[in-house]
Amino acid sequence: MKTKIVTYGILFFCNLIPLQAKDYDYPFQNPSLPVEERVEDLISRLTLSEKVQMMKHQSPAVERLGVPAYNWWNEALHGVARTSEKVTVFPQAIGMAATFDTEALEKAAGMISEEGRALFNEDVREGKTGTIYRGLTYWTPNVNIFRDPRWGRGQETYGEDPYLTAKMGSAMVRGLEGDDPVYLKAVACAKHYAVHSGPEHNRHSFNAEVDAYDLWDTYLPAFRELVVKAKVHGVMCAYNRLDGQPCCGNNEILQNILRYQWKFNGYVTSDCGAINDFAHNHKTHADDMLAVSDAVLNGTDLECGNLYQLLEQGVNKGYLSEKDINVSLKRLFTILFKIGLFDGGDMSRNPYFSIGREVLECPAHKAQAYEMACKSMVLLKNEKNTLPLDLKKLKRIALIGPNADDPQTLLANYYGTPSEIITPLKSLQRRLEGKVEIDYMKGVDHVKKLDDGPSFQEIADRAKQSDVIVFVSGINANYEGEAGDAGAGGFAGFASGDRTTLQLPQVQLDLLKELKKTGRPLIIVNMSGSVMSFEWESQHADAIIQAWYGGQSAGDAITDVLLGIYNPSGRMPLTTYMKDEDLPAMEDYSMSNRTYRYFRGQVRYPFGYGLSYTSFKYEVCPADTVVETGKPITYSVKVTNTGKRDGDEVVQLYVSHSKQGTTERMPLCALKGFKRISLKKGESKIVSFVLSPEDLALVASSGILREKAGKADIYIGGGQPQQSQGVFYPLCIKGDVFQIN
């Protein structure tokens, strides 16, 4: 039976008169009703068979009710991904982490969701929803901890530190989802929950084992931040098992922690094919029907896959009830109503329906992609101020290397396609046309010599005729990435998307050694989603830039750093280890001797490290050195640009607790604050950090976060305590135990 619903409005003098009546077939179609009421009405009209089909990522239309089709699967890791449309592509996530700039990332995320909105809005108006990679439920950000630099998918994360990951991930969530009190601009999804960071080859059957300390100290903090503080609306459970239970059927993490402790009321989706793993790879369930029933009972609302139709059979056999199905449907439909799927593009209510195609690759978005690429560049070495290059002294630059003119490298993985991809070669040719000759030679492929290419001696002889050599080294997403997507596992140094060594591929090292013999200044610009050990390079190159996978404008960013148009200011979101032997086994998920927080050996370039073309001076401002537990404390520092160039500085605050009198595990030091600032030469700024009780607390062996009485050292500077320009002063904490759950 159809229901006629009349909408009303209030005019001047409070005269209540009917506006134009609009017929709705059902109350759930009426955008003037509360979302909760609309959701309940829709659920009440569906059959069990229809319900279970709508719990799959490809949710079909229900024509008898006028329910549109919707495909939940979409990606927006660093731009709207996998669409046939031309869109803006920002640097890969690990590169954006290197900016240490939450404001810039939030702005970029807002632009990404604008471009996705434009495409979704068109589909809604034209009644063409349901196509994969056109929806607004983005399965990003990836806030897994990059605990091992060999992990291929680590490039999708914000690095090895829980605090940095939490802050950058939260910025991504805020930018994607918008700030409207009723509607969502788009929907973010924190993945992969939880304890997931390789290896790739056995991720469908792997059982991650961690103790309570590492779980709460390393693997859960970023997820907690996104759920509790950033209010993310989606969570994706991981492929692996955690302590014997598949993550997508894990009562402890999905129900006890996520729903009960963190009060999460959004939706949970499986990773794609993860439910199939229960019976066929993990061998934890006798058959698929038991697997899907268990997944829903433990909180996985949506399946990316093709098994949830078996839920109907599970209900009929009594493994779960239709009420259990309705719980998940309520969460899923709430999301769809909040993006406006059922509103028919009504711009009078949803402010995001006004976004149109004009935002795709608009000038502001291109400018932000360039800015993010610039900010991501990390200057690792600059012997005798080799950089920036002095154009007055240059007539010819030898540009060599597998990534000097490889557009695909700049896009990384989970990428969209821009109208133009600016490689270093393209940029240098444009910027220096008529001024400096660019002599380009690819030299080698990423992992092998070129077929019928010149010998290394011939390449070196030609390069010697130039004033400087710029070698653009590295790998790309063909070699590191997701199992199945990274298809170069047959080459030495790579396996199923993961790396087996931290070294640059040997063929590139061999060519670099030949180029060094020319006596010309040797500059290495490295592109990768992880770190190289740089054993030979750090000793013999004159300058090294870590350029990541920089997106569509990476070439211009690299050129402008080389020429000094942009002063490099990126920081390493990862530790650069000296050698492969420094790393524990890949399958060992203990954080002992991993990342800067627990590694006790010598490193080549620490987490937080990065050089500049200018210099900075730090002066500590007076502050209390005593704080009671349960209360915040503020620390400030005066930062002055003492060099001859304008530049950005990333001010970092680290806390190191005293171990005296305790056997509790704790980090050597831990990042608890950072802020990127711009300073003109000679300019000073005061930077303040407010340390909350949570920031000063430590995780007990039981997993409980507690602030205890004791001493802690505070370091503020341009990097970690052992290598930074930072200064040290003590902080004494006195009082009773303060507990944070």
Active-site annotation, residues: 271, 480
**Torsion over CA of 586, 587, 589 and 593, rounded to 10 degrees?**
-40
- What is the full DSSP assignment across 310-369? GHHHHHHTTSS-HHHHHHHHHHHHHHHHHTTTTTTT-TTT-GGGG--GGGTT-HHHHHHH
Q: Residue 20 burial (CB < 10 Å; 0-12/13-18/19+)?
A: exposed
Cα–Cα distance for residue pair 372/385, rounded to 1 Å: 24
CA atoms within 13 A on the CB side of 359: 22
Cα–Cα distance for residue pair 270/193, rounded to 1 Å: 10
Strand segments (E) across 642-737 = 647-657, 670-679, 684-691, 698-699, 705-707, 710-717, 727-734
- Cα 610 from chain centroid? 20
Task: Say if CB 219 and CB 370 are below 8 A apart.
Answer: no
Other Cβ atoms less than 10 A from the Cβ of 573: the count is: 29
Cα–Cα distance for residue pair 137/59, rounded to 1 Å: 13
- Cα 629 from chain centroid? 33
In DSSP terms, 580 is beta-bridged to: none
In DSSP terms, 444 is beta-bridged to: 449
Strand segments (E) across 33-189 = 58-59, 70-71
Residue type at 679? L
Q: Residue 572 burial (CB < 10 Å; 0-12/13-18/19+)?
A: buried
For residue 718 the two structure tokens come to 């341009």
Task: Say if CB 160 and CB 147 are below 8 A apart.
Answer: yes
For residue 96 the two structure tokens come to 């954006």
Q: How far apart are the first and last CA of the chain?
A: 50
Other Cβ atoms less than 10 A from the Cβ of 27: the count is: 17
Cα–Cα distance for residue pair 234/302, rounded to 1 Å: 10
Task: Say if CB 483 and CB 468 are below 8 A apart.
Answer: no
Cα–Cα distance for residue pair 312/302, rounded to 1 Å: 14
Task: Say if CB 474 and CB 504 are below 8 A apart.
Answer: yes
For residue 249 the two structure tokens come to 């059927």
Task: Say if CB 106 and CB 443 are below 8 A apart.
Answer: no
Helix segments in 142-230, DSSP class H: 162-177, 212-214, 221-224
Task: Say if CB 577 and CB 603 are below 8 A apart.
Answer: yes
**CB under 8 A, 24+ apart: contacts of 283-291:** 284/241, 284/244, 284/245, 284/246, 284/249, 285/249, 289/313, 289/314, 289/317, 289/319, 290/314, 290/319, 291/249
* Whether the bond into 18 is cis, omega within 30 of 0: no
CA atoms within 13 A on the CB side of 676: 23
Report the SS3 class of residue 523.
Answer: strand
* Cα separations in angstroms, 122 against 185, 349, 352: 14, 17, 12
* Whether the bond into 199 is cis, omega within 30 of 0: yes
